[in-house]
Amino acid sequence: MTRAGFVALAGRPNVGKSTFVNAVVGQKVAIVSDKPQTTRRAIRGVHESGDCQLILVDLPGVQRPRDPLTSRMARRVQQELEDSDAALLMLNGEQGIGPGDRFIANALTSVDIPVAIAVNKVDRLARAQLLAVLQSAADLAVDGDVFPISARNGSGVQALVTHLATLMPEGPHLFAPGERSDQSSELLIAELVREAVIRRTFQEVPHSVEVLVEDIETPRPGLTRVRALIWVESDSQKGILVGAHGRMVKAIGIAARREIERELGDQVHLDLSVRVRRDWRADDGLLDRLGIT
């Protein structure tokens, strides 16, 4: 009998959820950075382990809603948790257990699904630190096994995946063999462009950026042409992204193109434009169009 099910990843921003999903899936399905709000949508990555198919749901980091964008992200987290077969609470071992972690752990007690706990980034801890943070994780309100892991180097990941497989219900696989994500090509490309922006900007700019792919063409086999818009909220942010003599947007385009080519396996021509759309994070129509529901 086969097993299949959804595992929702809950945790504060920057605990390593996206890195974990990419490591387990074996390819990049979620963008990664060290800045909050990197994950804005529920991203699903598929992993087959023997007769079990795990669908890992990379959720936005749990945070207090501040605008329509973060309110939607919070609702999505709650909805995905309610619809999943199990949850994985991810903690940043390097930072220790804080009030935010305890808040999320308490919230998970209200969801009637099994929960496992992953203490990530243990490769950066001395033994005494590791023992202390594992004990703190075990003392949380969540009734679940605790796994020390490093999503970056793979330590402990297989043991955790094996455990998660035991939590999945019996049933047919939900994705076709070889399918690794439910993301469209347009969304994956948009996210890779946004990742290139995030990694090159600071302060408020990363939070104010969204990317919309307007057009994808394949004029001949092996060549993909992409036209994308980078939205920002102010003229000053646009100036930062364009840069002196267009150097910044050129650097963003080069970095994004390399990642897109790696994922698509094609030569890519990427045309980027930067535009101002004031208060887009409060624009429900645009959020709908961007698929942030």
**Last residue within a domain, chosen from 105, 135, 166:** 166
60 occurs within a structural domain: yes
Q: Name which of 6-20, 37-51, 84-98, 186-200 the model is least confident about.
A: 37-51
Domain match, 196 and 131 both: no
178 occurs within a structural domain: no
Residues spanned by the domain of 227: 185-289
**Last residue within a domain, chosen from 136, 166, 196:** 166
Domain match, 25 and 99 both: yes
Looking at residue 169, the DSSP 8-state letter turns out to be P
Residue 145 has pLDDT above 80, yes or no: yes
Domain match, 218 and 79 both: no
- Share the mean pLDDT of the chain: 91
Q: What are the tens digits of pLDDT across the range 48-80?
A: 988 999 999 988 776 667 788 878 877 777 888
* Confidence band, pLDDT 50/70/90 cuts, at residue 284: confident
Cβ pair 279, 29 in contact under 8 A: no
Q: Tell me what pLDDT residue 63 has.
A: 63
Domain match, 140 and 272 both: no
228 occurs within a structural domain: yes
279 occurs within a structural domain: yes
Domain match, 48 and 157 both: yes
- Give the start-end residues of each E strand in 194-293: 210-220, 223-232, 267-276
What does the buried/exposed string (b/e) look like for 122-157 if buried means 16 or more CB atoms within 10 Å of the residue's CB?
A: bbebeeeebeebbebbeebebebebbbbbbeeeebb
The structural domain count of the chain equals: 2
Q: If residue 24 lies in a helix (H) or strand (E), which one and from where to where?
A: helix 17-25
180 occurs within a structural domain: no
Domain match, 157 and 192 both: no
Compute the distance between CA of residue 60 and CA of residue 10 in angstroms, rounded to an integer.
Answer: 8
**Last residue within a domain, chosen from 139, 166, 193:** 166
Q: What CATH code is carried by the domain that includes residue 219?
A: 3.30.300.20
Domain match, 130 and 196 both: no
Q: Tell me what pLDDT residue 62 has.
A: 62
Domain match, 236 and 284 both: yes
Domain match, 211 and 143 both: no
179 occurs within a structural domain: no
Q: What CATH code is carried by the domain that includes residue 148?
A: 3.40.50.300
Domain match, 140 and 279 both: no
Domain match, 71 and 145 both: yes
Residue 190 has pLDDT above 80, yes or no: yes
Domain match, 96 and 223 both: no
User: CA triplet 85, 182, 151: central angle to 5 degrees?
Assistant: 65
